[in-house]
Every structure is written in C-alpha cells, then in structure tokens.
Structure 1
C-alpha cells in the first residue's frame, strides 16, 4: 500500500493534490462529478468582506496553451460563505481551505475575523495579488513592505494556518516570499496567474471585458516550476506548487523541486476528474518505482 500523505503547516493531507481557488467553485458544485473525499483538499473561490458581482463579460478566453480569465473575484462574501456554504461542506472527508482577498489591510483582517467564527476550515490562503486602495493602489504581492504589513496583520488575528499565495508578476519572487515568511506566514502557495491580454483583430477590441486578465494553464508551468524551485531554496516554511498541472508527471515535477503539495486549477475546466486522475497517477508512479511513501521524494531533485 502506497502512502500518499503529506503535511503542510501542520495540516495533515491524505495526498498532496488540492484544487486551486477560482477553478472549483465552493467545492460542492463538483460533488456530482467526482468523489470529493478522495482529494487531499480543495481551496474555495476567493472570499471578500462584502459580496462582489465580478467583472463585466467577456470573462474568459482560451489561448494556444492555456486560458485568460478576468472573473473579477465574484463571490458571495465571507459571512454568507460561513453561514450557508461551509456548513454543507462538513460532510466531506477532506481538507477545506478558504481563499481570502481584500483591498485594504483592514478588509483582510475583517474577513479573517469572520472565518474565525467558523468550524471546518483547515487553513486560509491569502491572495495578495490585490491593490491596496488606501495606499495608492500598490499591489500587495508586488511590494515586500506591503506583503509584510498585510501578512503580519492577518497573523495577529488568525486562528488557523495562514498560507500566502504569491504573485509571479514581480522581478524577484524570493524577496516577496521572504517578506511573507518574516511576517509569520505558515506556508506559501505559488504561483498566481501571470498578467496577460488578447486582442480580436477583426473587431480591434480586447477579448476580455476587463482588458487584461490572468494567464493560467500549461503555458505557465515552466515559469511556475522555476519560481517554486527558487522559493523553496529561499525559505524554511512549506511551499505549495501551482501552475499548469494536468497530469501526475506535472505534479511530480513540483514535488521533486520541493513543493509539499500542489494545486490543480485550469485543468478542472477541461476535465473535472483531473485531480482524481493525478492522484491515481501518483500512486501508479510510486508502485512502478517501488516507493512506499510519496513524501520521501519531495525535494529529491538530482542537480
């Protein structure tokens, strides 16, 4: 029997495969398509202090090797999530993570305080790819001082582990990673989407209503893998790898460079069963290689 379990920030996972925020709804929507109990866990879509309607359409555009999205973080708000959706998720035997975003440090703190009243959350993932409207619109995740400020404030009130999700739209991601670690982050997840755009040459208009959007999918995997490798080398806290993961081989690459777990995102749009197939693929790989415990290969890259 292969042991696929892993641990991130003191959280025990039955396997290292999570689903990424924004690609899996609030989790229950996928329950008729796959057995949620088989997942290591899932991250619900981003939660804000107040409900948000999101961006104007078009919101999605398929690219040659991925997808551009500008959903605009549409969500029901943290309070309604706790009162309605989280209660229904308690029946599943898997780890549930909230994803949190805000447009001021106070927003983040207030959302965390709402989540503190809930039961059933394993941890919270903090999306710092948002502008701080009270400080000139600087994006938290592109500035080490802003990152440190918001993470420290969140850690001062959070009762569950805090996982900081890093933006790739920076010159040196390790600087931001270290700032988050120094502020008390329990773990890091990376990468968020790369900023991109696309133009319809017939209409001569942008293909997204928001002009720009986040690029995800296979196209970003080499960049994401490199960034995970760099961050793992620069911090002592656990790292979760995200970006272009479609197969067990993709997931194994992230584990070999040191990620403790992975998140599957855009692949869920293509095949809702992708996370389950990845879990099965990891088990098959271990059996073929004679590996009894999958975690034994984490960080095992031969350089």
Structure 2
C-alpha cells in the first residue's frame, strides 16, 4: 500500500499536498466543502504587518491555460489574523503555514516577531512583495536584497522559515542558495509570473495596476524546470508549485526534486481538487508499484 507521508523541515505531513497562499483563505471556507485535515498542509492567505484592502478594479482574469490575478494582498494584517483567524486556523489537523509579506524590511521583521510565539508550524516568507525602498522592485529580484531580508527575519524568527521565491528573480538558483546561506529551512517556488493583458475594445490594460501575476498550467513547464535546477543546487527542502492540476503533475515535481508541492489555481477550477489529487496520487502509486515518494524524489 502506498505511503504518501513526507517530512518537511522536521514536520511529518500526511501527504505532499499543501494548499498555496492566496488560493485557500485560512481554510475555513473550504472546510465547508470537504475535510481539509486530509491535506498535507495549508499556506494561509498572505499577511502583511498592516491590514490591506487590496487593489481596485478587476482582480482575476482568465487566460488560455491559466489565470491572472491582481488581488493586491488584501488581508486582515498580522494582528487582525492573530485576533480573529488564528484560533480556527490553529485547530486544523494539518501542517499550518503562515505566509508573510511586506513593503519594507521593518514590516517583515515586526511581522515575524509577532507571529513567532503563535500556534502554527511554519512561516513562509513571501519576498515577491514590492520593496518601496527600491522603487517598487520586489525583494525577490536581486539576490543581495533578498539576503538582507532573510538574514534580518531569521534573527528574530523562532519558527521554521521557508522562503517563497519569485520566478522573476534575476537568478533563481543563486536566490535559493542565498536563502539557504542566511538560514532558511526551506524554499518554495515558484510564485506567479509578471504578466499583462489588454482590453482591445476599450483600448486599455485589463488591470488597473497594468501588470498582474500569471499562474496555472501555462507556467508549469517553466516552474518545473526551476524546481529541478534549485533542487540540484541546495541542501534544504524545496516545495514546488506552478500549474499543478492533477496527480501526474505532482509526480513530475517530486521526480524533479520537490519534497512536497502546493496547489493554487486548481482550487478555482475545482474547490475539491485537493481531496481528489490525494486519492489519485495514492491510486497512481499503487498502480505503479511506488511504495514511498522517497523512491522517486529527485530521480531526474
């Protein structure tokens, strides 16, 4: 019988399926659809130190083989999360990951300090946020900028720390190495690709912010390549994501070297996709004589 268990940074997960930040809320709404404790883990809606209302205008736009989003990190803020959401989030019987972003170094540091003593398992540091000090360029573009943030957060963060990498980085392999050097316990990749859509009828960009994040099956081959390259270059766990829609996609990312995976866009296509992928993954492993994911991890 196939054993789906994986170990992520010292945490024993029931299976390698984690729901990606920004696609699953804090798990409460999806918990009304199916038993989310079946999942390996949940990465929370992205938090910033202060509450954010998010972007104006259209926020989600369907594209061929994917979607674009310009939500703008709408969230209750770290304090709002602790006061109003954490109680229910901490009760979910799965690996509980809190995604933390920020617009400046102090946002990250103060957010990590507040979260460090709370009841959840892992902080996922989102360095794809726009850095106001550098004119809006994301922290995760230049390796040395990312180094400063990861080092500063690691000094105050008592939790296991995974850094979420942007595919828009100048060199994502170098970026992952820098995160490892500065004490990250793992990396997750990839976040959305910077993209654009134009409304030709009204002769203007679809999104008020002009550009938005592209996700879904369209990015999977590139995401898979990046996960493969990073996995070969670091000695910390890699969480793979990018267009995963089915159990076969999960197998590909595991073979490329991922310890586990995150599911994002697929949740908008089928709210019960997590439950289905877990069952299909178990079936695939049994049919193909795979007893443990360790047998195939990083075999490419």
Residue matched to 1:223 = 222
1:230-289 deviation line (CA, Å, top 9, x unaligned): 000111111000100000000110000110000000000010111111111110011111
Q: Output the CA distance in 2 between the equivalents of 1:233 and 1:259.
A: 10
Q: 1:160 Cα shift?
A: 1.0
Q: TM-score, normalised by structure 1?
A: 0.97
Cα distance, 1:93 vs structure 2: 1.1
Corresponding residue for residue 123 of structure 1: 122
> Equivalent residue of 1:226, what SS?
helix
**What is the CA distance between 1:134 and its match in structure 2?**
2.6
Where does the alignment leave 5 or more consecutive residues of structure 2 unmatched? none
- 1:196 alignment counterpart: 195
- Distance change (3 Å), C-alpha of 1:57 and 1:136: closer
Asked if the contact 2:98–2:124 (Cα under 8 Å) also holds between the matched residues in 1, the reply is yes
Instruction: State the partner residue of 1:105.
Output: 105
Instruction: Find the aligned partners of 1:187 and 1:90 in 2 and give their Cα distance.
Output: 21
Q: What residue in structure 2 maps to residue 19 of structure 1?
A: 19
Partner of 2:155: 156
Q: Which residue number corresponds to residue 62 of structure 1? A: 62
Could you tell me whether the CA contact under 8 Å between 1:48 and 1:111 is conserved in 2? yes
Number of the residue aligned with 1:28: 28
How many residues align? The count is: 300
CA apart distance, 1:87: 0.2
The equivalent of 1:147 in structure 2 is 146
CA RMSD of aligned residues (A): 1.1
Aligned-partner Cα distance in 2 for 1:233–1:160: 25
Q: Is the 8 A contact 1:104 1:132 kept in 2?
A: yes
Q: Are the aligned partners of 2:97 and 2:124 in contact in 1 as well (CA < 8 Å)?
A: yes
8 Å Cα contact 1:5-1:295 kept in structure 2: no
Q: Is the deviation greater in 250-259 or in 8-17?
A: 8-17
Aligned to 1:134: 133
Structure 2 residue aligned with 1:4: 4
In the TM superposition, residue 294 of structure 1 has moved relative to its aligned partner by 2.3
Q: Secondary structure in 2 aligned to 1:156?
A: helix
Contact 2:254 2:293 in 1 (8 A): no
Confirm whether residue 76 of structure 1 aligns to residue 71 of structure 2. no
What are the Cα deviations for residues 209-240 of structure 1, in whole angstroms up to 9, with x where unaligned?
22110000000000000000000011111100
What TM-score do you get using the length of structure 2 for normalisation? 0.97
Uncovered stretches (5+) of structure 1, i.e. residues with no partner: none
Aligned to 1:298: 297
Structure 1 segments (4+ residues) deviating >3 Å: 135-138
